[in-house]
Amino acid sequence: MDQNLEHRIRERAYEIWTAHGCIDGQADQHWLVAEREVLTASTATPSLEKDRTQKRFQARPKKPKSAR
């Protein structure tokens, strides 16, 4: 696993653990939730950026010529 990715998951799992009162025995559950969140965020971002870029460069409709 990429060290940066593992670090982000570890940090998020720690945040989840502290938010739930620092109760021991749920590390696996916290890790899995954190992993899902981090991976979802990391895979969603490039596709959203790609969509924005594509929309920006799509052909713009021509304005109708005014009646003469």
CA 30 remoteness from chain centre = 18
Model confidence, pTM? 0.61
Q: For residues 60 and 34, is the Cβ–Cβ distance under 8 A? A: no
Domain boundaries, the chain: 3-45
Instruction: Round the CA-based radius of gyration of the chain to a whole number and report it.
Output: 22
**d(C-alpha 68, C-alpha 61), whole Å:** 21
Q: Write the pLDDT tens digit of every residue in 3-49.
A: 899 999 999 999 999 999 999 999 999 999 999 999 999 887 665 55
